[in-house]
Structure 1
Amino acid sequence: MITPAFAQQFAHDWLNAWNSHDLEAILSHYADDSLFTSPYVVLLADEPSGVLHGKAALRNYWHKGLQRIPDLHFDLSDVLIGIDSLTLYYRGHNGMVAETFVFNASGLVQQAMACYALPTSD
């Protein structure tokens, strides 16, 4: 079960890794056989399913993302915890993001799903 202390530490470490643009620190949170889903996978990784399998695919995808957005910064709004998962709600470069992480028995991310706020129309 996810504890509040684990959730807060994960959120802190994960955000610091991203905000430092430290790809290896980011990847250190993920299992080698992790699964990641995001609508941006379709655009950046040219993967129509929106799904990436494994750390090598994540490395390539996030490397491209960090190059495309050199000033990328995330601001945490909230941390939500579940049984074997947690969700970070944060402001990204295009608005609000809810990213849910499911953890394996070793405390590494086995699966992550990113959802993005719809663009507002004026």
Structure 2
Amino acid sequence: MSFDAMAAAIDWLDAYRAGDLEVILGMYAEDAVIVCGCGGTKTVAGRESRRAYWVDRLIKCPASRLDNLQQSGDGALISYVVRESVISAVLRFNATGQVSAHTCGPSN
């Protein structure tokens, strides 16, 4: 991988914390899939579905501070605080540095 996955994960969290929907959406590959285990498991695929997912997340679950960051294979494991809980997300990246898969849920 020719880019820094951990730096890309921090950029992702910074955009999330700032509520910058367009930057967040621009970080995802066209065929990216989100599997979210927050409040029940849901799978999100497609541009408009990702947009709807993120509009909802930004309103209901704004992120605050970084809790943990680790390398994870071809991506990064990033944990962050949402309201009073910690969420962990694994972000996988494609060869161009876009998020190709995003799996998240409450930290145990």
Tell me the TM-score normalized by structure 2.
Answer: 0.83
Which amino acid is the alignment partner of residue 55 of structure 1? Answer: R
Where do 5+ consecutive residues of structure 1 fail to align?
A: 43-48
Q: What is the TM-score when the length of structure 1 is the normalising length? A: 0.75
1:54 to 46, 52, 59: 46
User: Tell me, what secondary structure is at the counterpart of 2:30?
Assistant: strand
| SS of aligned partner of 2:73 | coil
* Higher relative contact order structure (alpha carbons within 8 Å, sequence separation ≥ 6): 2
SS at match of 1:107: coil
Note if 1:84 corresponds to 2:74: yes
CA contact (8 A) 1:87 1:100 kept: yes
Kindly provide the amino acid, as one letter, of the partner of residue 88 in structure 1. I
More displaced stretch, 85-94 vs 104-113: 85-94
2: CA distance between counterparts of 1:62 and 1:84?
Answer: 23
Letter of the 2:56 counterpart? K
Q: Are the equivalent residues in 1 in contact too, given 2:38–2:106 (CA < 8 A)?
A: no
Identity among equivalent positions (%) equals 26
Report if aligned partners of 2:93, 2:99 keep a CA contact under 8 Å in 1: yes
1:90-109 aligned at under 5 Å gives the runs 90-109=80-99
Which residue is 2:55 aligned to?
A: 63
Q: Structure 2: 5+ residue runs without aligned partners?
A: none
CA contact (8 A) 1:18 1:26 kept: yes
1:38 has 2:36 as partner: yes
Higher gyration radius (CA): 1
Q: Distance in 2 between matches of 1:90 and 1:9?
A: 15
Partner of residue 12, structure 1: 10
